[in-house]
Amino acid sequence: EPYYVRCIKPNDKKSPQLFDEERCRHQVEYLGLLENVRVRRAGFAYRQTYEKFLHRYKMISEFTWPNHDLPSDKDAVKKLIECHGFQHDVAYGKTKIFIRTPRTLFTLEELHAKMLVRIVLFLQKVWRGTLARLRYKRTKAALTILKHYRRYKVKSYIHEVARRFHSVRQMKDYGKHVQWPAPPKVLRRFEEALQAIYHRWRAGVLIRSVPPEVLPQLRAKVAAMEVLKGHRADIGLQRAWEGNYIALKPDNPQTTGSFIPVANELKRKDKYMNVLFSCHVRKVNRFNKVEDRAIFITDRHLYKMDPMKQYKVMKTIPLYN
């Protein structure tokens, strides 16, 4: 295989930045290079070994991509050329394929370029899928670790609550002084429900320990607490209610003797059975004038009295009103 090297001077000034087109064309013509090209075009313009040709163009045929199962590379090249209908423009040698016209080669190059884009997209898809699977495995592993850690935190919290409140029945205050452990974020609502259950249980234990004769007064105190919530600081929760305060603990001992006859006279007159309440109060009118009054409540009437006038009844209101 003889090779001929032709040296062409781009310019006469020996400068690497200049290219004299006329000077180069003149050298090409007189060196016989154009005739050589014409001869090549008159015969077979392109020639390549089967192995290299197959390596470049095997992706444009389904019979040769990614690898062929034919007896030889020559048979694989023949199958590739016949698939695209170029068999009339080629010749097959022992080790090379010969293509006559450049148009066939240009068509092969266009098919190669189009298929190359599809191959690149396919490789990108496969690689992105691989990355997605790796990210999925890492995420799944992280979620598994997180799930077991949360389960550990939940179990630790429940075990700690059970340990702290294990012997609350034997405590004097039934576990009121026991401090609740800090729950994880996922169990905050559960902690509220658990505390509500505990408070209801403790309230039930305390209520069952109250003597039956005290329960009516306790219910009355609860009702008073609901009504007076936020309006009065002391509503007598820590002490027993006397009820008839004027008769039992009068504010003015000198007036006790005059109140009891008046109460007995009202009992004979109105025929009430029980005294619910009595006490001294201070009346403040809209002009900020203060006067002493007494309130007397039975199971039938409410009486407003004047303690300065021997507990004279000023107004009587039936209790059902």
**How many residues comprise the chain?**
321
Domain for residue 97, yes or no? no
Q: Is the pTM of this model over 0.75?
A: no
Q: What's the pLDDT score for residue 222?
A: 84
The rounded distance, in Å, linking the Cα atoms of 199 and 177 is 13
Tell me how many helices (H) and strands (E) the chain has: 9, 7
Residues of the chain under the 70 pLDDT cut: 1-2, 40-43, 235, 249-257
Buried (b) or exposed (e) across 48-63, using 16+ Cβ within 10 A? bebeebbeebbbbbee
| SS3 state at 309 | helix
Q: Give the domain extent around 272.
A: 245-318
Q: Determine the pLDDT at residue 23.
A: 92
Spatial CB neighbours of 75, under 8 Å, sequence gap ≥ 6 = none
| Residue 282 placed within a domain | yes
In a domain, 260, yes or no: yes
pLDDT at 253: 55
pLDDT of residue 254: 56
Residue 20 lies in a domain: no
Asked if residue 279 belongs to a domain, the reply is yes
Whether 271 is covered by a domain: the verdict is: yes
Query: Exposed, middle or buried by CB within 10 Å (0-12, 13-18, 19+), for 81?
Result: buried
pLDDT at 128: 95
Torsion of CA 218, 219, 223, 224, to 10 degrees: -30
User: How far, in whole angstroms, is CA 12 from its chain's centroid?
Assistant: 77
Q: What is the rounded distance in angstroms from the CA atom of residue 315 to the CA atom of residue 21?
A: 131
Residue 231 domain flag: no
Measure the CA–CA gap between 59 and 57, rounded to whole angstroms: 6
Query: Using an 8 Å Cβ cutoff, are 301 and 295 in contact?
Result: no
Q: Are strands 301-306 and 290-298 parallel, antiparallel or unpaired?
A: antiparallel
Element (H, E) at 222: helix 215-227
For the chain, how many structural domains are there in total?
1
Which residues lie closer than 8 Å to 250 by C-beta, 6 or more apart? 256, 259, 280
Which residues does residue 282 pair with via DSSP β-bridges, in sequence order? 292
Picking from 28, 85, 91, the residue whose alpha carbon sits closest to that of residue 61 is 85
Nearest to 246 by CA among 262, 265, 261, 259: 259
Q: Is residue 59 part of a domain?
A: no
DSSP letter for 183, please.
Answer: P
The answer to whether residues 90 and 99 touch, using CB atoms and an 8 Å cutoff, is: yes
